[in-house]
Structure 1
Amino acid sequence: MNPNPPIVCHKAPKFSTTGIWLGQNPLDYSFPLLTLQLALVFTTIRIIYFFIKPLKQPRVVAEILGGIILGPSVLGRSAAFTNTVFPARGTQVLDTVAMFGLMYYVFLIGVKMDPTLIKKSGRKEILIGMVSLFLPLIVVSAISFPLRPFLPKDLQNVGLLIFLAALLSVTSFAVLVPILYELQLLNSEIGRLAMSSSVLSDICGWMFMATFIVMQASSVSAMEAVWALLSLIAIVLFIVLVIRPASLWIIRQTPEGKPVEEIYILMILVLVCVIGFLSDMIGANSFNGALVLGLALPEGPPLGSTIVERLDCIISGLLLPLYYCMSGLKTDVSTIQNLGTWSFLQLLLVMGCLGKLLGTLLPSLYFKIPFREALSLSLLMNAKGVVELITFNFWKDIKLLDDQAFTILVLSTVIITAIVTPLMRILYEPLREYAVYGRRTMMNSNPEADTGILVCIHNQSNVPSLIRILEALHPTSQSPISVYVLHLVQLVGRSTPLIITHNLSAAPPTTRGSNQSERIINAFRIYQERHEEGASVHPFTAIAPCATMHNDALALALQKEVSFMIIPFHKQPLVDGGIEHNSNIQAMNRNVLGNAPCSVSILIDRRVEVNLCPQSDQVSYNIGILFFGGDDDREVLACAARMATNPSVYLTIMRFFHPDSMKDRSRDRRLDDEIVTNFKSVNMRNDRVVFRESVVKDTEQIVGAIRSISSENYHLLMVGMRHERSPLLSADITDWSECPELGMIGDLLASQDLNSTASVLVVRQAHVRANPNLNQVPRANIIESYGGQNSLHREQGEESSVRSSIPGSSVRSSRASTLDLV
């Protein structure tokens, strides 16, 4: 460290100005200068990000580049610009604000972080984390120390070489989470694996930090090293033994559904400053103290989520970019003059990245992770960010790095991150994981085998309607169903997504914060008890960001091999008669529809109060089926086949024809006719099934028919989603569509203009994906039989036939089909 730092003299700071009209320059005063700097920094960053975002670059790259452009490397080369906007007297204030924001950002990272990831880590996470840490550490150390005698004098410091090797080897949780969030990979398989591995790496990083503090103190005396270590332990113990129990007490004092009191939040925010001061006082750096404090606070609601909601926008959106920009402002490309320094640092960085790449790739392949995913994980573990910049700035402040080395390391950090992120986007597509070959549909499910059904729930208001639909499907010991209940909860106040598997046989827990999930689970527990011979319920809770919530639903559908999925509509009725619109749920629904490995249905829940009880003859459930033809409508009829066996369900199937439909000889029309004929023949004696056929000429008559149907006394209306091939439905209807994901008819049925009280289930059948491993993919399965002698039939050539028997033939009376001319 330089014993004689330079002395800079400037005028005593003045804070506010009386204005330009009195002859004063506002930029001579601290506060106006700071506001101009903040505005300029923020605007520059947003402009840069606007241009590099199409290149798949993360925001951190724009933030550092913004500082470099405003700094001495570009605009700062003009003395007039520097003296006006970033004068030496204003740098201290700007640095202070940036460091303050950084301290609270690191605190928020700690609050969001889940320390239990360490306990949850399996053999795969531990091995990947350890090998990816120690292999680059060994490689970089093996290169740097033999070359030490030939290095420039400022790079021969043994401590610098050791801790530079350690820094290049550690992958920090604080660096990974923002990148994973931006890539929308937080709850992907790769994202979870990366976070678990990085937590183990972070532990080693903290050990290096403690060692660095002790080594710094030992350079003065051995006793100073002892006191430094003891004071560090004392701060950690105070946080764990005093502050954490106090935070748990605050949670117990907060009533369910109520916000945490302001005084508690303010006390915690003051504590961040106190712990930061104590950490700086012992040489541990305020950021490390803030991180430990954040880790000690319980993540998630109510305390963790409240802190994040109050601070995240201003800290992550304004003050953290300021710190990145300040690092760029200190970067001066013109200082890179020594080829030896540049070559050595580049060699270390390249070998560190290669060591990290191999250290992650090899154990990943050992655990049979596909090469493309393993390579993506290896690139992700090479990401650099805030932790590296904090360290470089700290080393620069204590003169461990000179301006040249600092500039090289900052530029290298930007380049590595700029390369890694777009490569990750190209290599890894999480939705590719959900592709299946063949169909998982209700038509193809064997009624005598266990049929898997996944229901997704955002809030408990959807539960009654979902249970009524499941009861209508009539689970029995001869035709059982497995219901996978997924309660989707928005990730707030934590960084780590979570999947919780609940045990229905266990007593309901009394843990705070899980009451809504428990009420949902209890409702399905009652459903299972009522159908213990025919239905098994498997509840899960997924806590994830809204933007990637669909990943958990798709992954569960794939893992459990379900045939049918029910997801709620994004518009929900309110108690006061209004409609709540949730664009996050709409985006999730569209992602599920586009990538689901099974058939998907969207439930428009109008909360018809009907207590469906299959054991009682006094309660009925009236369901209307609208059949226009096509894959999706045939899937609806397959669901209706199960419902027809339920003695409490009354079905009305309404088939619509075009006047010229008798001339139609298309494949779809033949399949429609065959499945309808089979359905009618099996239910000929079922007096709970009514079949109506209507001839309609144009769109206007279809709308009129739907208005008439919606006024009838139905509890549920079901229709297919896609009818592109139907001659009845013209493209004109699409122009009226408010929600294209519902299809033409589904959108009409969901419209508030109908004033209908019936809920609506819009069904989309799973589509076939080509299997590259097969020379020819079999044509789609048609409907499997229900009851009696079941047989599976496939299309054979163009003249395929549909043969199925549908339950309900034991009912004695019958109802005639009617033909209506509209």
Structure 2
Amino acid sequence: MAIPKLKLKLLIDRKAKRVLFAEVGKDFVDFLFSLLSLPVGSVIKLLNKSKMVGCIGNLYESVENLNDTYILNPIENKDLLLNPKPAVSSVGVPLLLGQEARTPGGYYMCGSYHRNVTDNPLAICPQCNHKMSTPITYVPHGTGNVGTNGAEGGYVKGVVTYMVMDNLTVMPMSTISSITLLSTFNVENVNLLQEKVVDMESIPAFPSIASYLSELNIFNTEFSQLALSSSLISGAFLPALYYNMSSKDAILLGLTMNAQGFTDLSFFQVLTAVQLVNYDYFQIMVLSSVVITGASAPLVRYLHKSSMKYKLLNRRTIAHSELNTPLRILACIHNERNALSAIYLMIATNPTKTSPINLNIIHFVEIVGHETPQIISHRSYERSSSSPNTTSQRIVNVFRSYEEKNKGRVSVAPYTVVTSYTSMHHDACKLAIEKMISLIILPFHKQLDTGFAHSGIRTMNKNVLENAPCSVGIIIDRGVLGGIKNVLDNSSSYHVAVVFLGGADDREALAYLAERMSEHPNIKVTVILLLKKSCEYNLKKMSAENRFDEETLMDFKLRTTYNKRVTYIQEEVNNGVGVVNVIREMGDKYEMIILGRRHDENSPLIIELTDFDKCSELGTIGDIFETSNYGGKATLLLMQQQSK
């Protein structure tokens, strides 16, 4: 039988030295489509096992070399494995193996025609236990359509000319599609195009096509790997930026998506197995994957370690919260004294029915010995203990009593966490994320009346300040805060001051004051603005931080224009000494002083005061208040706004 030939008409761009596409007939398209039906054993046989990448070639060779003694029915089974035939063969398709499908008459049934078929006439029917020796006729797929399709075999119709791209994309040939492709390939001079007719026999066609495709650089491997990596990174990086993720987290996501593993290596092996790329290209692709993944791994580890573990996409601060919505607060409690301070602060925060407080509390208990860390939720339906024998029970009962007296204005969700001080910040931050907290309240680690400092609480406070997913406030109760209960229950006034030097933390302190305390009828508010002398406020020359400060102050003034309980004082100072003088003059006029924790260390008002910063979690100005008698017995609230 004569071996049929396959014809291709190649359109070559001589200037770019590339093949644009091939004009082919039905026989070539049928041949390409028939590749999808080849068994794996047939592919190995055609390609030569020595050219196979991986272990499939070794498996084929093992079957060849295995002695017939170890094989059941060696003549049939060995031939079935080494020379498998397509399960279905379409008429007229020039398969690489020819039309060696199963021949008609090779299948048998039992005499009772039960629904069992075999190719062995000695087999026993499982239903009637008789030999299955009655021959039946096998009808190949597509045979029934021969009359209706004009006796055409194969997969596609022969009245159409087809176009095959160098990436094996097949489409019908038309003038419009040809012109569109010329435009796609940026062909400007059609005189540089050349037609070339190629003949190839069907049996060696498979390696011949692979050779042509390799020569025509279907896979310009280095460029393909670079393009693939770039697309994976940018495909994750750009949407992440669009949805307000930080650039660091977006890069981290892109690098993670770019990591290549076993799936990619398997894909490279398949490409080499079907000879769409040669072994040299395979080596380049594998090496590129190793380099790209190897470079991505340390970058991912570095970015993940340096990225904040509990950072959120949106801002959870008081300044960014909406009006007349619940204020979600998490109070961290270590003892009963902390519990009373937190309740008194909530009273001053002025919860209302239109703007209530959702208060979550955690009573932290240090783990002892080899106990297992645990978190206990004291659900709302649990009754208060009539005989509170433990500190946790007493603390929970105090907050339950406060909730009952302020129904509709305050809701309380208490928890007890037993863990080490070095791990307490994890529980606080996780609960803050889960409950969408806007402010975490921390007690100061030092008792000012006794001078006792708790190193464990200080460690926790530092960790929370560094990792918090929201704003943080450190409360220092110097003895006056407890008096707010009686003050607010009668007509007496409770004086609160805000020291404003500028910066995000000072803006958060002012927002806390403006949103809540200034609305209470018995609280008088004083805002003390410290400015550098001869400082000209030109909005065009201001930095972004200065503009934010100015806008916040103007908004506060506008909202409190008709509030006679609000006083605004502006003090001009030359340097840090002037700042200390203003703080000293505050005396004991106020029961509470609110200020920001962090300030610009290069500011002329702060740079001279850095020597005072002995307690880093309080900041420069907070440390001045804590280490001196400035402010008298006033309670201090240090605010830190959530960082991006």
TM-score by length of structure 1 reads: 0.40
Are residues 615 and 698 of structure 1, via their aligned partners in 2, closer, same or farther at CA, if it must alter by over 3 Å? closer
Q: Is the 8 A contact 2:613 2:620 kept in 1?
A: yes
Q: What amino acid maps onto 1:651 in structure 2?
A: V
* CA distance in structure 1 between the partners assigned to 2:320 and 2:522 by the alignment: 25
Q: How does 1:526-605 map to 2 (within 5 A)?
A: 526-573=401-448, 577-605=449-477
Q: What amino acid maps onto 2:439 in structure 1?
A: F
Partner residue in 1 for 2:583 = 706
Q: How does 1:394-543 map to 2 (within 5 A)?
A: 433-509=309-385, 515-543=390-418
TM-score by length of structure 2 reads: 0.50
Partner residue in 1 for 2:555 = 678
Are residues 431 and 453 of structure 1, via their aligned partners in 2, closer, same or farther at CA, if it must alter by over 3 Å? farther
Q: Is the 8 A contact 1:696 1:728 kept in 2?
A: no
Partner residue in 1 for 2:592 = 716
Are residues 562 and 614 of structure 1, via their aligned partners in 2, closer, same or farther at CA, if it must alter by over 3 Å? farther
Are residues 551 and 543 of structure 1, via their aligned partners in 2, closer, same or farther at CA, if it must alter by over 3 Å? same
Shift of residue 735, structure 1, vs aligned partner: 2.0
Q: Is the 8 A contact 2:531 2:573 kept in 1?
A: yes
Q: Is the 8 A contact 2:331 2:362 kept in 1?
A: yes
Are residues 743 and 450 of structure 1, via their aligned partners in 2, closer, same or farther at CA, if it must alter by over 3 Å? same
Shift of residue 749, structure 1, vs aligned partner: 1.3
* CA distance in structure 2 between the partners assigned to 1:736 and 1:658 by the alignment: 20
Q: How does 1:689-768 map to 2 (within 5 A)?
A: 689-709=566-586, 711-724=587-600, 727-754=603-630, 756-768=632-644
* CA distance in structure 2 between the partners assigned to 1:465 and 1:649 by the alignment: 18
Cα shift readout 1:685-735 (whole Å, capped 9, x = no counterpart): 2121111111111111111111221x2232211001111167343333222
Partner residue in 2 for 1:653 = 527
Q: Is the 8 A contact 2:367 2:418 kept in 1?
A: yes
Q: What amino acid maps onto 1:560 in structure 2?
A: K
Q: Is the 8 A contact 2:445 2:457 kept in 1?
A: yes
Q: Is the 8 A contact 1:431 1:595 kept in 2?
A: no
Q: Which structure shows the higher strand fraction?
A: 2
* CA distance in structure 2 between the partners assigned to 1:594 and 1:464 by the alignment: 26
Give ranges in structure 2 of 5+ residues lacking alignment: 1-252, 256-300
Cα shift readout 1:545-594 (whole Å, capped 9, x = no counterpart): 11111111111111111001110111113xxx421111111111111111
* CA distance in structure 2 between the partners assigned to 1:760 and 1:517 by the alignment: 26
Q: What amino acid maps onto 2:496 in structure 1?
A: I
Q: Is the 8 A contact 2:473 2:637 kept in 1?
A: yes
Cα shift readout 1:52-80 (whole Å, capped 9, x = no counterpart): xxxxxxxxxxxxxxxxxxxxxxxxxxxxx
Q: Secondary structure at the match of 2:536?
A: helix
Q: Secondary structure at the match of 2:618?
A: helix
Q: What amino acid maps onto 1:545 in structure 2?
A: S
Q: What amino acid maps onto 1:746 in structure 2?
A: G
Q: How does 1:284-303 map to 2 (within 5 A)?
A: none
* CA distance in structure 1 between the partners assigned to 2:304 and 2:387 by the alignment: 37
Cα shift readout 1:330-378 (whole Å, capped 9, x = no counterpart): xxxxxxxxxxxxxxxxxxxxxxxxxxxxxxxxxxxxxxxx9x9xxxxxx
* CA distance in structure 2 between the partners assigned to 1:675 and 1:736 by the alignment: 28
* CA distance in structure 2 between the partners assigned to 1:755 and 1:617 by the alignment: 24
Q: Secondary structure at the match of 1:694?
A: strand
Are residues 731 and 520 of structure 1, via their aligned partners in 2, closer, same or farther at CA, if it must alter by over 3 Å? same
Are residues 494 and 510 of structure 1, via their aligned partners in 2, closer, same or farther at CA, if it must alter by over 3 Å? farther
Q: What amino acid maps onto 2:354 in structure 1?
A: Q
Q: Which structure shows the higher helix fraction?
A: 1
Q: Secondary structure at the match of 2:452?
A: strand
Shift of residue 469, structure 1, vs aligned partner: 1.5
Are residues 649 and 530 of structure 1, via their aligned partners in 2, closer, same or farther at CA, if it must alter by over 3 Å? farther
Are residues 728 and 624 of structure 1, via their aligned partners in 2, closer, same or farther at CA, if it must alter by over 3 Å? farther
Are residues 632 and 528 of structure 1, via their aligned partners in 2, closer, same or farther at CA, if it must alter by over 3 Å? same
* CA distance in structure 2 between the partners assigned to 1:503 and 1:602 by the alignment: 27
List 4+ stretches of structure 1 deviating above 6 A: 425-431
* CA distance in structure 1 between the partners assigned to 2:530 and 2:602 by the alignment: 10
Q: Secondary structure at the match of 1:638?
A: helix
Q: Secondary structure at the match of 1:479?
A: coil
* CA distance in structure 1 between the partners assigned to 2:306 and 2:380 by the alignment: 31
* CA distance in structure 2 between the partners assigned to 1:435 and 1:681 by the alignment: 33
Q: How many residues align?
A: 344
Q: Secondary structure at the match of 2:314?
A: coil
Are residues 674 and 758 of structure 1, via their aligned partners in 2, closer, same or farther at CA, if it must alter by over 3 Å? same
* CA distance in structure 2 between the partners assigned to 1:481 and 1:497 by the alignment: 29
Shift of residue 621, structure 1, vs aligned partner: 2.3
Q: How does 1:190-209 map to 2 (within 5 A)?
A: none
Shift of residue 429, structure 1, vs aligned partner: 6.4
Give ranges in structure 1 of 5+ residues lacking alignment: 1-369, 373-424, 769-822
* CA distance in structure 2 between the partners assigned to 1:640 and 1:427 by the alignment: 37
Are residues 633 and 434 of structure 1, via their aligned partners in 2, closer, same or farther at CA, if it must alter by over 3 Å? same
Q: Secondary structure at the match of 1:438?
A: coil
* CA distance in structure 1 between the partners assigned to 2:568 and 2:583 by the alignment: 16
Cα shift readout 1:764-809 (whole Å, capped 9, x = no counterpart): 00011xxxxxxxxxxxxxxxxxxxxxxxxxxxxxxxxxxxxxxxxx
* CA distance in structure 2 between the partners assigned to 1:607 and 1:494 by the alignment: 37
Shift of residue 433, structure 1, vs aligned partner: 4.1
Shift of residue 615, structure 1, vs aligned partner: 6.7
Q: Secondary structure at the match of 1:482?
A: strand
Larger gyration radius, structure 1 or structure 2: 2
Are residues 495 and 592 of structure 1, via their aligned partners in 2, closer, same or farther at CA, if it must alter by over 3 Å? same
- Indicate the percent of aligned positions where both proteins have the same amino acid: 35
**1:634 is the counterpart of 2:511:** no
Q: Is the 8 A contact 2:525 2:565 kept in 1?
A: yes
Shift of residue 600, structure 1, vs aligned partner: 0.5
* CA distance in structure 2 between the partners assigned to 1:498 and 1:613 by the alignment: 38
Are residues 563 and 638 of structure 1, via their aligned partners in 2, closer, same or farther at CA, if it must alter by over 3 Å? same
* CA distance in structure 2 between the partners assigned to 1:432 and 1:707 by the alignment: 38
Are residues 735 and 615 of structure 1, via their aligned partners in 2, closer, same or farther at CA, if it must alter by over 3 Å? closer
Q: What amino acid maps onto 1:464 in structure 2?
A: L
Q: What amino acid maps onto 1:646 in structure 2?
A: H
- Structure of higher RCO (CA pairs closer than 8 Å, 6+ residues apart): 1
Shift of residue 629, structure 1, vs aligned partner: 0.9
Q: What amino acid maps onto 1:515 in structure 2?
A: T
Partner residue in 2 for 1:623 = 496
Tell me which moved more, 711-720 or 609-618: 609-618
* CA distance in structure 2 between the partners assigned to 1:508 and 1:431 by the alignment: 42
* CA distance in structure 2 between the partners assigned to 1:546 and 1:767 by the alignment: 23
Are residues 430 and 496 of structure 1, via their aligned partners in 2, closer, same or farther at CA, if it must alter by over 3 Å? farther
Are residues 491 and 430 of structure 1, via their aligned partners in 2, closer, same or farther at CA, if it must alter by over 3 Å? farther
Shift of residue 516, structure 1, vs aligned partner: 1.2
